[in-house]
Copies of this chain bind each other. A is one copy, B any other.
């Protein structure tokens, strides 16, 4: 078999990060010439990376942490994360050359994946492949699990989504609308707010940066209070939500992006209001729920094909653009799901 010889471009984390991550915390490096070949006896996969996913949880991995649900990145090594890739060579019985997969891979052109058991084989290729970093991947499952499994929305309930135009939020809002809920989202620019109302079909949307008093804003949009809050933000936003929850409300705690770059997180006031209002706050990690992926796909693929749901991506071209794309998440630069295209096939 002919073996291709090439170089391998990589995005390397220089060192652990304090505060807001900067592009300069990462460097782009091109390897010496390598041979595209699995090591002898490997049970892994050699893959060509096509799309890489930029996700807020990655901020946590830039810090040295212990006992987290996910390992820190290794300074001096490429970042890792969700991506879509093509199998060039397989040492594992479940995969063969030419398969498309999504799951954990490296921020580089070519990766060797040593434990491919956690990967998903891509069956539906009549949708954009990049969707497997978003609506058909981890963010899609996050929206589905958080809304349907954790919060169990009932028709007519009031749902609030923060970071609502993001990879997860745009889906939470649309799923909640499909469940017959009244849905309000917030985002940080006029453009995003317009998307929420005009593209994703939210009942209302507002720019949280223009609200001096988030509590008053939520009272305006939810005069009856909030039944379900899909928590992506934390901090002051969560405080305002706590003041506006309804009896028996549910909060799916998925992320708290406002806190990720602080050395000491903000204290959350009004937490005792969960007692009188019988609020349930549930933290979750999508990785616990991947057994439901087939069920989710059964639901979501027809919705996409029938045009009942849409998904906005913010596509950055080339590995070179990956550091800026990732960093941009934390200032809300991305509009929709932030994807990096490494190669299109």
Contacts and interface: CB of A to CB of B under 8 A. Distances in A.
Interface stretch (A74-82, A102-110, A270-278, A321-329): A270-278
Contacts of A50: none
Nearest to A248: B288
A35 interface: no
Interface stretch (A84-92, A112-120, A124-132, A261-269): A261-269
Contacts of A277: 69, 283
Interface in A277-311: 277-285, 288
Nearest to A277: B283
A265 B271 contact: yes
B278 A280 contact: no
Interface in A233-281: 234, 238, 253-256, 259, 264-281
A331 interface: no
Nearest to A67: B276
B278 A269 contact: no
A68 interface: yes
- Label chain A's interface by main secondary structure: loop
A234 B272 contact: yes
Contacts of A278: 282-285, 288
Given A68-B276, A234-B272, A276-B283, 10 more contacts: A69-B277, A253-B272, A255-B275, A256-B275, A259-B272, A267-B269, A271-B271, A275-B283, A276-B285, A278-B282
24 contacts: A69-B276, A234-B271, A256-B271, A259-B272, A264-B269, A265-B269, A266-B269, A267-B267, A267-B268, A268-B271, A274-B281, A274-B282, A275-B283, A276-B283, A276-B285, A277-B283, A278-B282, A278-B283, A278-B288, A279-B283, A280-B281, A280-B282, A280-B283, A281-B281
